[in-house]
Amino acid sequence: MTRFQNGSRLLSYTFSRSKTTSSVSPTTALLQGNFQIQHSRHFSNLASATTKEEKEPCWKDSMERLRNIGISAHIDSGKTTLTERILYYTGRIHEIHEVRGRDGVGAKMDSMDLEREKGITIQSAATYCTWNGYQVNIIDTPGHVDFTIEVERALRVLDGAILVLCSVGGVQSQSITVDRQMRRYEVPRLAFINKLDRMGADPWKVLNQARSKLRHHSAAVQVPIGLEDDFQGLIDLVKMKAYYFNGSNGEKIVTAEIPVEIEALVAEKRRELIETVSEVDDKLADAFLADESISTSDLEEAIRRATVAKKFVPVFMGSAFKNKGVQPLLDGVLSYLPCPLEVSNYALDQTKDEEKVVLSGTPDGPLVALAFKLEEGRFGQLTYLRIYEGVIRKGDFIVNVNTGKKIKVPRLVRMHSNEMEDIQEAHAGQIVAVFGVDCASGDTFTDGSVKYTMTSMNVPEPVMSLAIQPVSKDSGGQFSKALNRFQKEDPTFRVGLDPESAQTIISGMGELHLDIYVERIRREYKVDASVGKPRVNFRETITQRAEFDYLHKKQSGGQGQYGRVCGYIEPIPQGSMTKFEFDNMIVGQVIPSNFIPAIEKGFKEAANSGSLIGHPVENLRIALTDGAAHAVDSSELAFKLAAIYAFRQCYTAAKPVILEPVMLVELKVPTEFQGTVAGDINKRKGVIVGNDQDGDDSIITAHVPLNNMFGYSTALRSMTQGKGEFTMEYKEHSPVSQDVQMQLVNTYKASKTAE
């Protein structure tokens, strides 16, 4: 405990280090970015002498020195490599390891064996570090679209992000998806053009692509000195200095004057930067139009204002693999991305009909924290929390607003990939994890004084299913334990039972997503599972209005069943947010109102399985206009059955069609194979919507039915001598052609007959 007195101001601090508590001076502790305000007995004794205004700067300084950032990008753009370098330069790790784990170690943030073997990130990993006296919480996210939920939930709780772009690949399909997610959660961002040391690196081409494809209002804040093999360092356009990165790992930064040969380019790019920022920042625009000289601090403040307001994206450059440009990027995170106090967060007040409440974001308010990610750890369930307001302490009682349960916080930790450091308390703005708290992803916790919930994150629907069963009968317990755990951790991974075949069906975002889970069941639970042929999640819908009038009447001695329902079904217009609507248009009491929910339930149940191929029916509106009831024989069951039979009766008249998931596929193939690949896409009933040239490669964009994309990676390799690559993500469900519909219906009927 350290105290210091300054005139009438008397403050009490406690500084915690991992495991041990050491007494250090306030200045040192601030620099470590690791101080916490302890509401201890000492503090309460001093409360009378310390007004609220005097206490405020304690936490305010710590909040202003905090950054929560995510690193997101397309596959293989270098996110994990960049995070590895950041951890090295900030002193969190003491040696650098490469992503594919060739040295048997692998990158720090890829802690799973599967990640190290495949060289991809599967789970987002959280860590924290300190840089120039600021604390930075970082979440490294996967690039594969199959793990898109990991990016969604990371961006939901972060205040800023780094969008990594490859200087050779440019803006690729997943870059566009990640950028769309950043827009959805209104996250201010920096762009980092990586891999400037590679053959064909062209940062200016990438910058133009970001402006055209991502609609970024952006400009470079750095200019590279040389490119490809000749990449030596960077020019900072704000400070007008050249930086060279020396030492075995680029840890020694040498500042020098700008080389004469690129002075003209630097002057042009600085003017472009000032012009671009002036368009969105009035203060800088006034100085620019008045032809005043713009100082470094003026430009820096204007870039910060425009970035925090999400009107501008500063573009940094470098090569994470070659250890160049990472430290200036970290400086950029501190200079241009917001602290938790500068971001507006909203909660919904459950006591006032979900009225929007702006959270103050300070430790003074009531506790509001969001559980955004769950993991099964060695010591039970590990729940990642983002604290939006208030303070959470070990041993406190917290309330899960979604379930109403009161829980004690048994253990509070800060994560460093798969390692953890015990802490006593954490305040607003921080990302921590708690053990032994049973909850679901997306639950909100408070201290019980308020009933707020945070808005949920966007969870995409699964597009592919597999039948799965354990090979050995004895391993059923471990098998269901694995499925329950993965379902809880990952909202896009669903488990169901096929009522016809009694098989367990797992659904997810793609082949890779499901393959990884099958492999994890084998490795982590020692259960060998056999997998059936992948199934596509088809849907059915109707194309025209159809009337129904059905009387359900049954007499079997004693009380009978009687229920009559009349009305119509019709399609919901395209683009509607709801997939099923039930409209009760009955005037008067021809059907007693207590039977209406049973009728709705009956229609919902009937819509779970369409008569064409037994898949769910969506984009459907049901209007109930009339009916009849019997004083004795009418019951909820009678009306529910009447609704089910009425639906089946009029379904065929509504001209139903089958919808299939269509994927947005982006291919990158050498130009010589363009014709073969395009021909193959047409064979798979795909529609080519774009074809760009990128050096010697062709970039083909197509919409292809998922049903025709199984095993495509093998086919593409053989067509392009292993040089082609592709990514695909779900686009929409759209109607199948008439011949495919006939084929699917006949297959379904044949399988029903065989049973």
DSSP letters for 654-684 = G-EEEEEEEEEEEEEEEGGGHHHHHHHHHHT
- Specify if 403 maps to a domain: yes
Q: Which of 542, 537, 662, 546 has the alpha carbon at shortest distance from 607? A: 542
568 and 420 fall within a common domain: no
- Specify if 296 maps to a domain: yes
- Specify if 51 maps to a domain: no
d(CA 239, CA 235) in angstroms, rounded, equals 9
Please state whether 97 falls in left (phi above 0), alpha (psi between -120 and 50) or beta: beta
Strand segments, DSSP code E, in 269-379 are 313-317, 345-349, 355-359, 368-377
Judging by beta carbons within 10 Å of its beta carbon (0-12, 13-18, 19+), is residue 715 exposed, middle or buried? middle
What is the reported pLDDT for 411? 85
Which residues face 164 on adjacent strands?
Answer: 73, 192
CATH number at residue 722: 3.30.70.240
- Encode burial over 78-105: b for 16+ CB neighbours within 10 A, e otherwise: bbbbbbbbbbbbbebbeebbebebeeee
Angle value at C-alpha 654, between 653 and 658, nearest 5 degrees: 115
What is the reported pLDDT for 114? 67
611 and 706 fall within a common domain: no
CATH number at residue 503: 3.30.70.870
What is the reported pLDDT for 121? 65
What value does the CA radius of gyration of the chain take, rounded to a whole number of Å?
Answer: 30
Computed over every residue of the chain, the mean pLDDT equals 81
Domain count, the chain: 5
Mean pLDDT of 614-622: 89
Greatest alpha-carbon span in the chain:
103
- Specify if 713 maps to a domain: yes
Quote the tokens at residue 405: 């349960």
Percent of the chain with pLDDT over 70: 86
Mean pLDDT of 327-343: 90
284 and 424 fall within a common domain: no
Please state whether 318 falls in left (phi above 0), alpha (psi between -120 and 50) or beta: left
What is the reported pLDDT for 118? 66
Q: Residue 74 in contact with residue 151, Cβ under 8 Å? A: no
What is the reported pLDDT for 56? 53
Pick from 428, 453, 478: which residue ends a domain? 453
Strands 620-628 and 561-571: antiparallel
What is the reported pLDDT for 145? 67
551 and 508 fall within a common domain: no
Mean pLDDT of 683-706: 88
Quote the tokens at residue 149: 């939920």
What is the reported pLDDT for 753? 80
Please state whether 577 falls in left (phi above 0), alpha (psi between -120 and 50) or beta: alpha
319 and 351 fall within a common domain: no
Cα-based distances in Å from 652 to 333, 612, 749: 59, 9, 15
Q: Which of 275, 258, 254, 405 has the alpha carbon at shortest distance from 327? A: 254
151 and 214 fall within a common domain: yes
Q: How confident is the model at residue 93 (pLDDT cuts 50, 70, 90)?
A: confident
Domain that holds residue 666: 658-741
- Specify if 23 maps to a domain: no
645 and 664 fall within a common domain: no
What is the reported pLDDT for 331? 92
Residue 48 has pLDDT above 60, yes or no: no
What is the reported pLDDT for 23? 35
Q: Residue 454 in contact with residue 382, Cβ under 8 Å? A: no
507 and 448 fall within a common domain: no
- Specify if 701 maps to a domain: yes
What is the reported pLDDT for 119? 65
What is the reported pLDDT for 647? 92
What is the per-residue pLDDT across 639-685, written as a single tens digit (0 to 9) for each?
A: 999 999 999 989 989 999 999 889 888 888 888 889 999 999 999 98
Pick from 281, 309, 336: which residue ends a domain? 336
642 and 682 fall within a common domain: no
Quote the tokens at residue 110: 């890829």
Query: Considering only 38-42, 179-183, 235-239, 462-466, which range has the smallest mean pLDDT?
Result: 38-42
64 and 197 fall within a common domain: yes
d(CA 531, CA 154) in angstroms, rounded, equals 31
What is the reported pLDDT for 748? 86
Q: Residue 650 in contact with residue 546, Cβ under 8 Å? A: yes
What is the reported pLDDT for 463? 74
Question: Residue length, the chain?
Answer: 755
Residue 691 has pLDDT above 50, yes or no: yes
The conformation of residue 473, written as its DSSP 8-state character, comes to G
CATH number at residue 433: 2.40.30.10
What is the per-residue pLDDT across 437-472, written as a single tens digit (0 to 9) for each?
A: 888 778 889 988 888 888 767 777 777 788 888 888
243 and 154 fall within a common domain: yes
d(CA 131, CA 326) in angstroms, rounded, equals 12
CATH number at residue 157: 3.40.50.300
| Amino acid at the residue 530 | S
Mean pLDDT of 178-192: 88
**369 vs 376, more confident:** 369
Pick from 532, 548, 568: which residue ends a domain? 532
**729 vs 106, more confident:** 729
Judging by beta carbons within 10 Å of its beta carbon (0-12, 13-18, 19+), is residue 701 exposed, middle or buried? middle
| Amino acid at the residue 470 | P
What is the reported pLDDT for 110? 55
- Specify if 43 maps to a domain: no
Residue 507 has pLDDT above 60, yes or no: yes
Q: How confident is the model at residue 102 (pLDDT cuts 50, 70, 90)?
A: very low
Quote the tokens at residue 279: 């368009």
Mean pLDDT of 396-411: 87
What is the reported pLDDT for 706? 86
Helix ranges restricted to H, 16-78: 26-32, 41-46, 52-64
Mean pLDDT of 178-198: 89
CA of residue 677 relative to chain centroid, distance: 32
> Cβ–Cβ contacts within 10 Å for residue 384, how many?
22
Which residues face 699 on adjacent strands?
Answer: 668, 692
- Encode burial over 198-217: b for 16+ CB neighbours within 10 A, e otherwise: beebbbebbbebbbeebebe
567 and 583 fall within a common domain: yes
- Specify if 1 maps to a domain: no
Q: Residue 348 in contact with residue 453, Cβ under 8 Å? A: yes
Most confident by average pLDDT, 107-111, 203-207, 739-743: 203-207
